[in-house]
Structure 1
Amino acid sequence: MTQANLNDLVAFLTVAREQSFTKAAAKLGVSQSALSQTVRGLEERLGIRLLMRTTRSVSPTEAGERLRMSLGPHFEEINAELAAISELRDKPSGTVRITAGEHAAISILAPAIRRLAPRYPDVHVEVIVDYGLTDIVAERYDAGIRLGEQVAKDMIAVKVSGDMRMAVVGSPDYLERYGRPETPQDLTRHNCINMRLPTHGGIFPWEFEHGGRELKVRVDGQLTFNNIAMRLDAALAGLGLAYLPEDQASPYFDGKGLERVLGDWCEPFPGYHLYYPNRRHASPAFAVVIEALRYRE
């Protein structure tokens, strides 16, 4: 049976269900004369009359009723399946892979996932923590999260955080024993907890700015880590000064284990952006992830 014949069967079933060429034509979006011609052509090919036509009504013949009863449920199932597939197209589902640094994963992605996961159980989010500036296209990621200044110009960027600040912190016990640095240069006399990141090829310099003056200080110390948690724990244990994102250190201010120094030298800087290739087609799953992450003033 050709596609044209299937369309003819749909036309017949609609007329038989509505018992009116006028109503059936309106439902199918065709003219009454065209619909009548379609059904007549079907009858001629089958060699049997399917509909009884009078000036007042249309009703199936015995053969027409048999055809309606046998085919009608199957076409209804087909329509139901097509509708289900259409809903699936618009229903957020699938896996979204995102690469981000540790701090962005903790402070941006984790809270968004806690909001998103219960609402969209069919959306799977895979987060890969990576300090390197990953090529998200080559590595088959859907998106990445980096500081705005690190996002390539050919990417679409969506702001996912406000401005950020860093904080130099130490325990009250450490500061009492070794004093409080008054300038970034004073850090050279302190036991500083270093961090090593692959994007910098070595020990990360502590960056400062005050009154338009920018300064990078390469500090020295007994300990070096490549993650936030261990630097924070070491500072809380009084093992030295740490250079941390402000939001990770601030819960321990006000007598809760850490004190801040050099606050005037830690000015705000642009925060995180989610970025992805401008040629990427946004699936429903990816779209809901973007909305969950989007920063709102």
Structure 2
Amino acid sequence: MKRSELPDLAAFVAIADSLSFRAGAARLGITRSALSHAMQHLEKRLDVRLLHRSTRGVALTDTGRQLFESLQPAFAGIEQALSDLDRERGSPSGRLRLHVSSGAAAAVVAPVWRSFLATYPRVELDLELSDGPVNVAAEGFDAAIAIRDFAAADMVAVKVSAPWKVVVVAAPSYLARRGEPVTPDDLTAHDCVQYRLDGALLPWPFMREGTRRKIAVRGAVTVNSSELALRAAIDGLGLAFIDDAVAGPFLRSGQLMAVLPEWSPSFDGYYLIYCGRRQVPLPLRALIDMLRARRTTARCSTDPGMVLPGVLAKV
């Protein structure tokens, strides 16, 4: 085998492992067009079709499956050897690609990224912000940070934040003009920034003393990101339903005011979600350890009498 054939074979393994050009390109750090060109070059040189391509996705041919089953252990061994080498050097390196919800970005990532990058200067953080669910492996991410409901049964979920709430907020100018809702039912008479999650409009959930409610709100603005919902609320376009970590700075500055605080639903925290069937990349392991240490410190500071192990157990 010629040395020049290795990149094309690595491209094939990256696609075959996830059955996705997008995920394969993200894994290799190249564009999808470059990855497609490498596959075309490999198939032409081998004079055999390795992949079925269609508008619905990618599938392996019988020949492609046989080649992948032969190559995958070898490339996994190379990745493991390089990971072991990094571990011996004690210096995680490379790109760490994370899918992060808006609330998790504010509550989990922002408080540690300066320290993380200073501690591991050879790591590059690649963050994609989205509040919707994600298939971590298929879309080429190393991990996601979101609510635990987004973790599939075969994924590892590590708790990385304290419990948090969702709050209803509005600009003072809006409340002066329209009045303040007293109960969730009052929202039907207000302009609300509607939120579309995974293709469907999200009813606003509320909870008070064990009583749960869901209100289908209405309004002239519909968004699919917390940032846009926040901006709309600040601009006085209506009430918005926002993670308290995201809304916090604007509540403290007076740009927003919280309403219905006694009805705010609580969540048990954010989770770092990753595939347990693969070798955990060293940069991801370093981030997990830092987030666990931060949680330990935070819990000890709130309860000096607690005795905790140095590393929190997986939740």
Measured against the shorter chain, the TM-score band is: 0.5 to 0.7
**Partner amino acid for 2:222?**
T
In structure 2, what is the equivalent of residue 147 of structure 1? Answer: 147
Are residues 1:224 and 2:222 paired? yes
Report the 3-state secondary structure (helix = DSSP H, G, I; strand = E; otherwise coil) of the residue aligned with 1:97: strand
What's the CA shift for 1:89?
5.0
Report the 3-state secondary structure (helix = DSSP H, G, I; strand = E; otherwise coil) of the residue aligned with 1:280: coil
In structure 2, what is the equivalent of residue 44 of structure 1? Answer: none
What's the CA shift for 1:88?
5.3
Mapped to 2, the partners of 1:174 and 1:186 lie a distance apart of 15
Mapped to 2, the partners of 1:283 and 1:145 lie a distance apart of 16
Task: Write out aligned runs for 1:90-109 (5 A).
Answer: 90-109=90-109
Contact 1:147–1:271 (CA under 8 A) maintained in structure 2: yes
Contact 2:192–2:240 (CA under 8 A) maintained in structure 1: yes
In structure 2, what is the equivalent of residue 165 of structure 1? Answer: 165
CA distance 1:236–1:283, change in 2 (3 Å): closer
Give TM-score scaled by structure 2 length: 0.62
Mapped to 2, the partners of 1:139 and 1:244 lie a distance apart of 26
Task: Write out aligned runs for 1:1-297 (5 A).
Answer: 89-198=89-198, 201-253=199-251, 256-294=254-292, 295-296=295-296, 297=299
Contact 1:115–1:292 (CA under 8 A) maintained in structure 2: no
Mapped to 2, the partners of 1:119 and 1:259 lie a distance apart of 38
Contact 2:147–2:271 (CA under 8 A) maintained in structure 1: yes
Give TM-score scaled by structure 1 length: 0.65
Identity among equivalent pairs (%): 37
Mapped to 1, the partners of 2:227 and 2:133 lie a distance apart of 21
Mean Cα displacement is larger for which, 175-184 or 107-116?
107-116
Q: Which runs of 4+ in 1 moved over 4 A?
A: 85-89
Structure 1, unpaired ranges of 5+: 1-84
Structure number, greater radius of gyration? 1
Mapped to 2, the partners of 1:164 and 1:87 lie a distance apart of 35
What's the CA shift for 1:195?
1.7
**Partner amino acid for 1:204?**
L
What's the CA shift for 1:93?
1.4
Post-superposition CA distance 1:23-53 (Å, at most 9, x none): xxxxxxxxxxxxxxxxxxxxxxxxxxxxxxx
Post-superposition CA distance 1:156-189 (Å, at most 9, x none): 2111111010111112222122121111111000
Mapped to 2, the partners of 1:172 and 1:245 lie a distance apart of 19
**Partner amino acid for 1:154?**
D
**Partner amino acid for 2:276?**
N
Mapped to 2, the partners of 1:225 and 1:112 lie a distance apart of 28
**Partner amino acid for 1:277?**
C
What's the CA shift for 1:254?
5.5
Post-superposition CA distance 1:67-105 (Å, at most 9, x none): xxxxxxxxxxxxxxxxxx677554211222211223323
**Partner amino acid for 2:124?**
H
Report the 3-state secondary structure (helix = DSSP H, G, I; strand = E; otherwise coil) of the residue aligned with 2:133: coil
Report the 3-state secondary structure (helix = DSSP H, G, I; strand = E; otherwise coil) of the residue aligned with 1:216: strand
CA distance 1:262–1:109, change in 2 (3 Å): same
What's the CA shift for 1:246?
1.2
Contact 2:102–2:227 (CA under 8 A) maintained in structure 1: no
Contact 1:123–1:285 (CA under 8 A) maintained in structure 2: yes
Structure 2, unpaired ranges of 5+: 1-84, 300-315
Mean Cα displacement is larger for which, 247-256 or 182-191?
247-256
What's the CA shift for 1:255?
6.6
Mapped to 1, the partners of 2:100 and 2:113 lie a distance apart of 14
CA distance 1:281–1:192, change in 2 (3 Å): same
CA distance 1:183–1:87, change in 2 (3 Å): closer
Mapped to 2, the partners of 1:141 and 1:259 lie a distance apart of 36
CA distance 1:116–1:184, change in 2 (3 Å): same
Report the 3-state secondary structure (helix = DSSP H, G, I; strand = E; otherwise coil) of the residue aligned with 1:168: strand
